[in-house]
Amino acid sequence: MTLRIIEPFAITQANIDATNVTLETAWTAGTYTLGQVRRVGERLFEVSAASTTQEPGLPASTQWFDAGPANRYAAFDLQFGADQFRVIDTVTTRADSITYTLSGLPRLSAMALFGLACTQIDIASEIPGGPLRLHGDFPTAGIDQSTSSTAMDAEGPFRPMVVGATASVTSADRRSNAFSVASGVPVFCRARIRAGSSGKYRIACINGSAATTSFYDGTFPNFSGVATSSAAGTLTDFIRTTVENGDTEITFTWTPNATTALARVGIGPFTSVIGETIIAVGMQATDAFADWILGGTGTRRAGTYITHLLPDATQYESSFWRWFFLPQSLDRTYANFDINIPAGAVVDLTLTNTGSTVAVSTIAMGAAGQFGVVEVGSTRGLRSRSVKKTEGTLTSLNRRTPASRVGYRVHLDNYTASPFWRIIDDLDGVAAVFAGPDDNEEFLAYGFVTSCQTVSNVHGITKVQLEVETL
């Protein structure tokens, strides 16, 4: 496996289109007392005097100290350039989930996250100017019915449709907003879906006035299906095709048997098993095929979609006591070097830890360089920052977040030493992501180069000893 290096792209507020991480109270002119914290821009400042009227962040402000980045920006507090500082172990936290919608990004081929406390990671991208609008103008937007009714945008991409704790086979779906239909007048429908974990999907056409629903139930991966109910009218003319990204598109005709202003169309996993999913890319209903938006006049189209469940390495050993009382041992890092997101795309990142606190200390993304082959004999060691202090008969141990030193032994051939040295020179004093073989996860590190030495054995072949210290 090659040595892979990501020089992260610097993400600021200008790149954050939306997030559920709220900002702390901003500083305004007034009197503040010892210990009060206020935000200026993307950083927090804490009062260090009994009281102060100074404005924090200015060179003359001696009664405030920099307490690090605001919670929203802590995960993006990367170390770039000469004489930059980074508060050690900056962490973004929030209950249940953390979401970011990011724009203004360069081409991305890799993403890495560190200091994780979550059970699931979702990465989605949408590409500007593409042909796919995920909901049509009839209806214009939708509702997420996974555990409660939550409004969705007119265009996605959307997270996988997940069966929630209160959901059943008929209530876990993504559905349109209400629109009007007339008895006997055909409604032309289209859905795009990707296989998830459930193996089954259900399409629903709903008459909200009469509380009736017509169903079409199908299975993955062959996408076979059959209409199982016609209570709200007949479902006919089903056509299934495979389109871009391997998505499956299903078109069909719904002929309502009653007039209503509360018609809806929906799609979801045909299961009541909590946590099972399908990916409902989008759905549209229209009274004329000429009105299709999925086919070409939308402003965005779906790109990358990745869902990663962090594995649990807890040693339960077939013990119910351990199952109930031992804390989970989940991965604290995640890296993906196989994404392909073009410049200008919008990226949605979601971290989930339902019922607990989500945390992430570093989110790094960029284009990854690949060099040589990482050889056996690479090393990783702990560099403790904790301080042991003895005064008289009292000994104390002040714990600090530890660092690690990772040594990579790399074999370069085909005269690739020069491009390797170019990126190492550029990274001097700059934090980056370094990764060795996938089956040696301990060699995934976010840090800076402390030393690098190469030895040329024969023409075109170079041995590298690279040492990195994590932040």
Examine residue 9 and state whether it is found in any structural domain, yes or no. no
pLDDT value of position 340: 86
Residue at token pair 């479902």: 235
Q: Would you call 196 exposed, middle or buried from its count of C-beta atoms within 10 A (0-12, 13-18, 19+)?
A: buried
Q: Is 233 domain-assigned? A: yes
Domain final residue pick, 257, 280, 298: 298
Of 269, 303, 297, nearest to 284 by C-alpha is 297
Q: Which of 359, 378, 394 is the last residue of a domain?
A: 359
pLDDT for res 146: 64
270 lies in the same domain as 163: yes
Closest C-alpha to 38, from 46, 29, 49: 46
Question: CB within 8 A of 192, min separation 6: which ones?
Answer: 132, 134, 243, 247, 248, 249, 250, 280, 281, 282, 283, 294
Contacts of 379 (CB under 8 A, 6+ apart): 405, 406, 407
**Residue 111 belongs to what domain range?**
97-119+306-359
In a domain, residue 183? The reply is yes
Which residues face 200 on adjacent strands? Answer: 219
Q: Domain check: are 288 and 167 in the same one?
A: yes
Judgement on whether residues 187 and 257 belong to the same structural domain of the protein? yes
What is the C-alpha separation between 445 and 301, in angstroms, rounded? 33
Whether residue 90 lies inside any domain: the answer is: no
Q: Determine the Cα–Cα distance for residues 335 and 62; give it in Å rounded to an integer.
A: 41
CA–CA separation, 89 and 75 (whole Å)? 9
**DSSP track, 415-465:** T-HHHHHHHHHHTTT--EEEE--TT-GGG-EEEEEEEEEEEEEETTEEEEE
Cis peptide before 419 (omega within 30 of 0): no
- Check: CB of residue 5 under 8 Å from CB of residue 432: yes
How confident is the prediction along the chain (471 residues), in pLDDT tens digits per residue?
Answer: 799 999 999 999 999 999 999 999 999 999 999 999 999 999 999 999 999 999 998 988 999 988 888 999 999 986 543 344 445 568 999 999 999 999 999 999 999 999 999 988 988 887 665 444 444 445 566 776 766 667 766 655 555 666 665 555 555 677 777 888 999 999 888 887 777 777 788 888 999 999 999 998 888 766 678 888 899 999 998 888 876 666 778 888 999 999 999 998 888 888 777 777 777 666 778 776 554 544 444 455 556 778 788 877 666 666 666 666 667 678 889 999 988 888 888 898 999 998 899 999 999 999 999 999 999 899 999 988 888 888 888 888 888 778 899 999 999 988 889 999 999 999 988 889 999 988 888 999 999 999 999 998 788 899 999 999 998
- Evaluated on CA atoms 57, 59, 64, 68, the torsion sign reads positive
pLDDT per position as a tens digit, 192-236: 777 777 778 888 899 999 999 999 888 876 667 888 889 999 999
Computed on alpha carbons and rounded to an integer, the radius of gyration of the chain in Å comes to 27
CA distance between the termini of the chain: 24
> What is the rounded CA–CA span in Å between residue 182 and residue 169?
27
Within this chain, do residues 346 and 440 fall inside the same structural domain, yes or no? no
Same structural domain for residues 285 and 145? yes
Residue 4 included in any domain: no
Both 383 and 327 in a single domain?
Answer: no
User: Are 139 and 245 part of one and the same domain?
Assistant: yes
CB 105 within 8 A of CB 343: yes
Phi, psi of 324 (to 5 degrees): -80, -30
Length, in residues, of the chain: 471
234 and 383 co-located in one domain: no
- The answer to whether 332 and 444 are in contact (CB under 8 A) is no
**What is the CATH classification number for the domain harbouring 47?**
2.10.10
Strand partners, 407: 379, 467
Same domain, 464 and 429: yes
Q: Are residues 332 and 414 in the same domain?
A: no
d(CA 85, CA 79): 7
CA proximity to 176, closest of 196, 158, 164: 158
In a domain, residue 85? The reply is: no
- Residue-level pLDDT at 134: 45
Given this model, what pLDDT does residue 82 score?
39
Report the alpha-carbon distance of residue 179 to residue 137 in Å, rounded.
Answer: 10
Element (H, E) at 227: strand 225-230
Q: What is the DSSP letter of 330?
A: B
Residues 6+ apart with CB under 8 A from 418: none
Residue 140 lies in a domain: yes
Whole-model pTM: value is 0.71
For residue 369 the two structure tokens come to: 């360089």
Domain boundary at 276, 298, 320, which? 298
- Identify whether residues 184 and 275 lie together within a single domain: yes
In a domain, residue 281? The reply is yes
What does the pLDDT read at residue 279? Answer: 73
Pairing between β-strand 346-360 and β-strand 3-6 as defined by DSSP bridges: unpaired
Buried b (16+ CB within 10 A) or exposed e, 45-71: bbbeeeebeeebeeeebebbeebbbbb
Q: Do 282 and 140 belong to one domain?
A: yes
Burial of 138: CB neighbours in 10 Å, binned 0-12, 13-18, 19+: middle
Query: Which whole-number Å values give the CA distances from 173 to 273, 350, 375, 453, in the listed order?
Result: 13, 19, 49, 56
The enclosing domain of 464 has a CATH number of 2.40.30
Domain count, the chain: 4
